[in-house]
């Protein structure tokens, strides 16, 4: 390998490491980006959960309630948003990804960050 190639390789490796540590920091802070999550919410969730998070149709929970569904652990909420959820005596289940299968894992994390920021301040 020519010395210049070695140098280039070192730069690639170093920038990869920086990108990786940036990702790690983001993950430890809960991951999601609320401003990106807003678009996800308004594109997919708002029809059932409403602009104010109190629920637009019967059976949807009130996100603004202090002891409500958003007080659950993020891992639980990520699971319920991604895979769908039906509580006991539910009048209607929550569809997986709100019925929008185009949503990525990142979209789900972002929309959860938005829910916390907008409706349940913690």
Residue 113 sits in the site that holds ligand HEC (CB under 6 A): no
Residue 80 sits in the site that holds ligand HEC (CB under 6 A): yes
Partners of 85 in beta bridges: 94
110, 66 contact by CB (below 8 A): no
- How is residue 29 annotated by DSSP? T
Q: Judged by CB, which is closer to ligand HEC: 12, or 57?
A: 57
Residue 57 — φ and ψ, nearest 5°? Answer: -130, 155
- Residues that bind ligand HEC in the complex, under the rule CB under 6 A: 40, 44-45, 47-49, 59-61, 69, 72, 77, 80-81, 85-87, 90, 92-95, 97-99, 111
């Amino acid at each position: 390998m020519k010395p210049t190639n070695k140098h280039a390789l070192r730069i690639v490796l170093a920038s990869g490491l920086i990108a990786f540590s940036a990702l790690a920091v983001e993950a430890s802070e809960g991951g999601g980006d609320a401003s990106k999550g807003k678009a996800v919410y308004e594109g997919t969730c708002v029809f059932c959960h409403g602009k104010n998070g109190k629920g637009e149709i019967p059976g949807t929970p009130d996100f603004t309630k202090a002891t409500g569904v958003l007080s659950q652990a993020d891992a639980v909420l990520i699971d319920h948003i991604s895979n769908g959820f039906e509580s006991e005596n539910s009048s209607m289940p929550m569809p997986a990804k709100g019925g929008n299968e185009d949503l990525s894992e990142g979209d789900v994390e972002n929309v959860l960050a938005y829910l916390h920021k907008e409706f349940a301040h913690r």
